[in-house]
């Protein structure tokens, strides 16, 4: 993994319901889970993979659910790649609609700048 961001994790109890709540990110950027048809959490419940624009461009990040540390998986600096879900994107960049993860291995795959990229979220 590349760039490391400090934990933004906050755990608290909802005052109305008494439910335990975990907030994983607190940046002012757009942060979202992967596309709803696939997993965003590894099978061992250790890593949460998200799309975030905290670097100024959409990129993939893996949050260590034990420590809250946020690890950058991609290093896209060309914006959003146009796709059926994001038609206002450009000819270069990261395809937010393409990101997919195998929950068992933690392998993440996505399209960036017209090619396939892959990186493993799970580390030890």
What domain count does the chain have?
Answer: 1
> CA distances (Å), 120 to each of 13, 27, 29, in order?
32, 24, 24
Please calculate the CA angle 21-121-124 and round it to the nearest 5 degrees: 95
Task: Report the C-alpha gap between 123 and 77 in whole angstroms.
Answer: 25
- Average pLDDT of 1-7? 83
CB atoms within 10 A of CB 112: 21
Range of the domain at 35: 4-120
Q: What is the pLDDT of residues 53-72, one digit of tens each?
A: 999 999 999 999 999 999 99
pTM of the full structure: 0.91
Kindly state the tokens that stand for 124: 């030890």
Strand partners, 35: none
Residue 1 has pLDDT above 70, yes or no: no
């Amino acid at each position: 993994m590349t760039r490391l961001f400090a934990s933004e994790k906050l755990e608290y109890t909802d005052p109305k319901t008494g439910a335990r709540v975990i907030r994983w990110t607190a940046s002012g950027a757009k942060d979202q889970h992967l596309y709803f048809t696939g997993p965003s959490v590894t099978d061992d419940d250790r890593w949460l993979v998200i799309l975030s624009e905290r670097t100024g461009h959409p990129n993939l990040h893996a949050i260590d659910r034990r420590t809250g540390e946020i690890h950058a998986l991609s290093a896209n600096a060309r914006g959003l790649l146009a796709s059926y879900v994001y038609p206002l994107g450009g000819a270069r960049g990261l395809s937010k609609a393409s990101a997919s993860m195998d929950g068992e291995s933690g392998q993440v795959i996505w399209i960036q700048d017209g090619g396939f990229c892959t990186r493993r979220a799970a580390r030890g």
